Chain A
Amino acid sequence: MKQDRYDVVVVGAGMGGLCSAALLTHSGYTALVVDKLPFVGGRASSVKYKGFTLPTGALYVETGGVVEKLFKEVGAPFAVRSFPMQLCFRMGGRDYLMPQKGGLRDLMSHFADERETAAVLTAIRRAFAWQEPSMAISLRDWLLQHTQNEKILAIFRGLVNYQCVNFRDMPAGEFIRQLKFATGATAGAHPQGFLALMQELVGVVEAGGGRVWTSTRARSIVVRDGAARGIVVERNGKDLEIAAGAVISSAGPHATVDLAGSGHFEKGYLKELKEKVHPLAYVCVEVSSDRPLVDFPGVMVVPEGRRQMTMMCTSLAYPEFAPPGKHLLQAWAAPDSSFEPLDTAAEVDTIVGDLKQAIPGFDDRAEILHVSYWQKDWPMYRALPGALTQKTPVENLYNVGDGVAPLVPLGLPACAETARIVVADIRQRLKPAG
């Protein structure tokens, strides 16, 4: 078998893997990134389809946060354009704009008296200022201690949907933490789609002497004497061993164990992995129309359907994403459960049914372009934050990405943060071979 050597080898060219490789090459390490898919970006990439630019996963990235900071640090252009972060709730056939200041109070006041509103706000204020609620209770059950008002519960169901987590799956503690992060945050998209953004990181890796190989599958992680020594990849039909001082995997913590062989991991780690790392499911429906299906240019929350849903006429903020004369609406919704087996086709029927209810005249005005269901090995998030650390029991083997997210905003910022943590550790332990 042919052999090659790099300081660090990275499995997966998504946000976690590419951020790691960019930080490494920027610090003088040689790095090779391999991805089994023919494109970079993983669940944060984009494709051209029927004239539209559609995401392979992530729709937006936080601006001014961890990701942008990392791009700046490695010298990658971050041409993300923010959109107005205002939310509008469509409830009972009416639209309620959520004011940016005092929005929650304002929204609740349409459906509850002052005493009821105050009870919920006091609980939230206390959770912010004193102690976050437990991770052992769902947000819904936590709220039920303070209100029985179905409309208020629906408002929170809608806010959770904005974080792309099912109301029943969201621990109360995590929601409060996300709410803290969300305050004042803005988000946006690259006008040419996520692929263009991720290619900026590829540019940094390659300019630093690293390599990014797509259509290259890691078949195994080589472990000898309790330490990771490299990987074996399949490239152009041949197996190739890549030796490395450290291995970073963004394939997800379960896949990392499979690639290295579970026999190399401590039992306690495997137990935690089994108990804590559960992927979260989501559904995205993309719709084409001649005229905008909603007039509001921000995020429209539809919290009262059979499934929680959020939608946005993306082409109002990003006309580049639709061909001339067309509009693009993206609706994202949580299936009934991430963890129980479901009839996924029936879930999509339900979600599309809800969408048709939320948009008057849907059948005459709209055409469904694409439906994606995210779950299991290709999920919305591989785990809730804080499930596992980035280091594994195998020396010099790390995980990055949303399966080992620390307590920062979910999704892409979490991926960037894991890269930063892992690269800081590598820099302490390993000298670049030069």
Chain B
Amino acid sequence: MLNVDRTRCVGCGLCVYFCPSDALRAWGVCRIVTEDCNECLACIDYCPADALHQSEAGRS
């Protein structure tokens, strides 16, 4: 499961551009639309703040 570390996320929205499933929303901070995320993990590398992580459980 993909997670946003809200203490790190700056809200820049870079990740939004690179999600092929339109599963990310940035509005001051990033939110994952969990039901749309196919866990391809493409977004992780595009986060300049290292705020996106894969975890076993837990929702953002």
Q: Which A305-352 residues sit within 8 Å CB-CB of chain B?
A: 343-348
Is B40's CB within 8 Å of the partner chain A?
no
Q: Given A49-B17, A56-B14, A344-B11, A371–B26 Cβ distance below 8 Å?
A: yes
- Bitwise, A354-378 to B at CB < 8 A (1) or not (0) is 0000000000000000111111111
The listed residue with most A CB atoms (<10 A of its CB), out of B28, B45, B49, is: B28
A240 to chain B, nearest CB (A): 18
Interchain CB contact (< 8 A) of B10 among A38, A343, A346, A377 = A377
The listed residue with most A CB atoms (<10 A of its CB), out of B11, B16, B27, is: B11
Q: Given A344-B28, A345-B28, A347-B28, A373–B48 Cβ distance below 8 Å?
A: no
B39 to chain A, nearest CB (A): 18
Write out the residue numbers on chain B whose beta carbons fall within 8 Å of the beta carbon of A376: 10, 49
Is A54's CB within 8 Å of the partner chain B?
yes
Write out the residue numbers on chain A whose beta carbons fall within 8 Å of the beta carbon of B45: 37-38, 215
Write out the residue numbers on chain A whose beta carbons fall within 8 Å of the beta carbon of B16: 49, 370
Q: Given A37-B46, A38-B46, A215-B45, A378–B28 Cβ distance below 8 Å?
A: no
Is A91's CB within 8 Å of the partner chain B?
no
Write out the residue numbers on chain B whose beta carbons fall within 8 Å of the beta carbon of A42: 48
Of all chain B residues, which has the CB nearest A281?
B10
- Bitwise, A37-67 to B at CB < 8 A (1) or not (0) is 1100010000101000010100000000000
- The secondary structure that dominates the A interface is mixed
Write out the residue numbers on chain B whose beta carbons fall within 8 Å of the beta carbon of A370: 13, 16-17, 26
- Bitwise, B1-15 to A at CB < 8 A (1) or not (0) is 000000000111110
Q: How far is the CA of A267 from the CA of B5 in the complex (A)?
A: 32
Are A373 and B10 in contact, CB atoms less than 8 angstroms apart? yes
Are A378 and B13 in contact, CB atoms less than 8 angstroms apart? no
Write out the residue numbers on chain A whose beta carbons fall within 8 Å of the beta carbon of B27: 345, 348, 371
Of all chain B residues, which has the CB nearest A375?
B10
Is B29's CB within 8 Å of the partner chain A?
yes
Interchain CB contact (< 8 A) of A345 among B29, B46, B48 = B29
Are B48 and A374 in contact, CB atoms less than 8 angstroms apart? no
Q: How far is the CA of A372 from the CA of B26 in the complex (A)?
A: 7
Q: How far is the CA of A36 from the CA of B18 in the complex (A)?
A: 16
Of all chain B residues, which has the CB nearest A379?
B10
Are A374 and B12 in contact, CB atoms less than 8 angstroms apart? yes
Interchain CB contact (< 8 A) of A372 among B11, B46, B49 = B11
Q: Which A366-420 residues sit within 8 Å CB-CB of chain B?
A: 370-379
Are B28 and A346 in contact, CB atoms less than 8 angstroms apart? yes
Q: How far is the CA of A347 from the CA of B29 in the complex (A)?
A: 11
Are A373 and B49 in contact, CB atoms less than 8 angstroms apart? no
The listed residue with most B CB atoms (<10 A of its CB), out of A54, A56, A343, A372, is: A372
B18 to chain A, nearest CB (A): 8
Q: Which A274-321 residues sit within 8 Å CB-CB of chain B?
A: none
Q: How far is the CA of A431 from the CA of B26 in the complex (A)?
A: 47
Of all chain B residues, which has the CB nearest A57?
B12
Are A371 and B10 in contact, CB atoms less than 8 angstroms apart? no
Write out the residue numbers on chain B whose beta carbons fall within 8 Å of the beta carbon of A38: 45-46
Q: How far is the CA of A171 from the CA of B28 in the complex (A)?
A: 26
A42 to chain B, nearest CB (A): 8
A213 to chain B, nearest CB (A): 14
Considering the complex of A and B, which 10 residue pairs feature the smallest CB-CB distances, nearest first?
A344-B28, A373-B11, A345-B28, A348-B28, A372-B13, A47-B17, A378-B48, A378-B10, A49-B17, A372-B12
Chain B positions near chain A (C-beta within 8 angstroms): 10-14, 16-18, 26-29, 45-46, 48-49
Known: A38-B45, A346-B28, A371-B13. 7 other contacts (CB 8 A): A215-B45, A344-B28, A370-B17, A373-B28, A374-B12, A378-B10, A378-B49
